[in-house]
Amino acid sequence: MDKLEPEQRQHHGGAVIKANHGNLQVRKIVYYILGVLEVLFAFRLIFKLLGANSQSPFVSFIYTVSQAFLSPFSGIFRSTVTKGFETQSVLEPTTIIAMIVYAVLAWGIVKLIEINTPHQTTETR
C-alpha cells in the first residue's frame, strides 16, 4: 500500500481514498495567506482600539498594508471614535467585517478545491 500522510488518507468503510498532494499544498497556501491577513487585521483592530501612535513605523506599516485589503469594505459602517485624555480609541467595524469575509472566502476556495479534486479509491480488505 502507498505511504500517505495522515491528511492525505481517508478511510471509508473498506476503501482508502487518496487525496491529490498538489491540491493539499494549494489548500495549505490559501489558509496560510488567510492567517497572515487575519494577523494583520487583528493588529490593526487592537492598535486602533488602544489608540496606538500612527507615526510609529510598525503601526504605520500595519495600517498601510492592511488598508489595501480593507478598501473593498470601506463605507459599510462608520467608525466609532472615543477620545481620552491622551489617546483616541477607534472601533472599526470594517476590520471585523473584513476578517469574517476573508475567512469565509478562504473556506469557500478550499471547499471548491476539495470538490474539484479527483480521488483515487483503492479497496482494502
Q: Which three cell numbers stand for residue 117?
A: 479534486
* All residues at 6 or more sequence positions from 12 whose CB lies less than 8 Å from its CB, including other chains: none
Note the pTM of the prediction, 2 decimals.
Answer: 0.73
> Using N-to-C axis directions, what is the helix angle for 93-115 and 21-50, rounded to 10°?
170
β-bridge partners, 18: 9, 120
Tens-place pLDDT, residues 64-85: 999 999 999 998 988 888 887 7
Tens-place pLDDT, residues 7-40: 455 555 555 555 566 788 899 999 999 999 999 9
